[in-house]
Amino acid sequence: MRHIISIKLENEAGALSRVAGLFSARGFNIESLSVAATNDPTLSHMTIVSVGNDAIIEQITKQLNKLIDVIEVKDISKTKHIERELLLLKIALNKKLKNYKEKQKNISQCKIIDSQNDVYTIELSNTSEQINSFLDKFDQSEILEISRTGVIATSMKKIKNNT
């Protein structure tokens, strides 16, 4: 099963390689990894998407917690959460292929950063699943360049009293 693991860690050189090294040394799977500093410059927030059964995810969580630089680990896929991924796509539509009009329409629904003739650079933020199905609408030959950030996520807490 796919799990989204949210990690708070010290914003120090080497912290990322400790996490990445743990996954490769213990044979855990990483589907995506995304990391950046937070409003607190000493703190980084990392989101890892991994696939594994409950026992493997439990080990991943425990092993991550054991790393000295790691402050907090949460498997947020178990709770209500929101996940997003950013796609930057350079695409050249081909009139000779089918569904040309429909593809143009799909592109127009995205944020278009640049367009020259039928070559578009577009930006799309959505769940990984939605981004995948968006990409499926195009022919492989039309896609010039893809760049994806990997998933970032946050849990959705009920806020009782925001005063």
Partner 1 sequence: MKLNGAQIVINSLKKEGVEYIFGYPGGAILHLYDALNLQDDINHILVRHEQGAVHAADGYARSSGKTGVALVTSGPGVTNAVTGIATAYMDSIPMVVISGQVPSKLIGNDAFQEVDAIGITRSCVKHNFLIKDITKIPTTIQKAFYIASTGRPGPVLIDIPKDITINTTDKYDFLKTIEMRSYKVIEEPKQNQIEKAAELILSSQKPIIYTGGGCVIGNASKELIEFTRNLNFPITQTLMGLGAYPADDKLFLGMLGMHGTYEANMAMHHSDCVIALGARFDDRVTSDLAKFCPYAKIIHADIDSSSIGKNVHVDVVLLGHIKLILKSLNIVLKDKKTKNIDSWWSDINYWKSFESLNYKTSSKKIKPQSVIQSLHKVTNGDAIVTSDVGQHQMWAAQYYNFNKPRRWINSGGLGTMGFGLPAAMGAKLANPKKDVVCVTGEGSIQMMLQEFSTMLQYNVAVKVVNLNNRYLGMVRQWQEFFYEKRYAMTYMEALPDFVKLAESYGHIGIKVEQPKDVEPALIEAFKLKNRTVFLDIITDPSENVFPMIPSGAGHNEMLLAKKDKILSKNDSGLNLV
Q: Is 113 helix (H, G, I), strand (E, B) or coil?
A: strand
Q: Is 12 helix (H, G, I), strand (E, B) or coil?
A: coil
Shortest distance (Å) from residue 22 CB to partner 1:
8
CB 99 within 8 A of CB 113: no
- Of residues 10 and 31, the one with the C-beta less far from partner 1: 10
Stretch that binds partner 1, among 53-61, 85-93, 135-143, 154-162 (CB under 8 A): 53-61
For position 69 contacting partner 1 by CB under 8 A, the verdict is: yes
For position 38 contacting partner 1 by CB under 8 A, the verdict is: no
Of 95, 142, 98, 141, the C-alpha closest to 122 is: 142
Binding residue (CB under 8 A) for partner 1 from 32, 34, 63, 94: 63
Helical H runs in 8-146?
15-25, 54-66, 100-108, 128-136
CA distance 70 to 90: 37
Stretch that binds partner 1, among 15-23, 29-37, 78-86, 97-105 (CB under 8 A): 15-23
Who's near 109: CB < 8 A, 6+ residues apart? none
For position 21 contacting partner 1 by CB under 8 A, the verdict is: yes
For position 130 contacting partner 1 by CB under 8 A, the verdict is: no
Please report, as ranges, the residues that interact with partner 1 according to CB under 8 A.
Answer: 9-10, 13-14, 17-18, 21, 25, 55, 58-59, 62-63, 65-66, 68-71
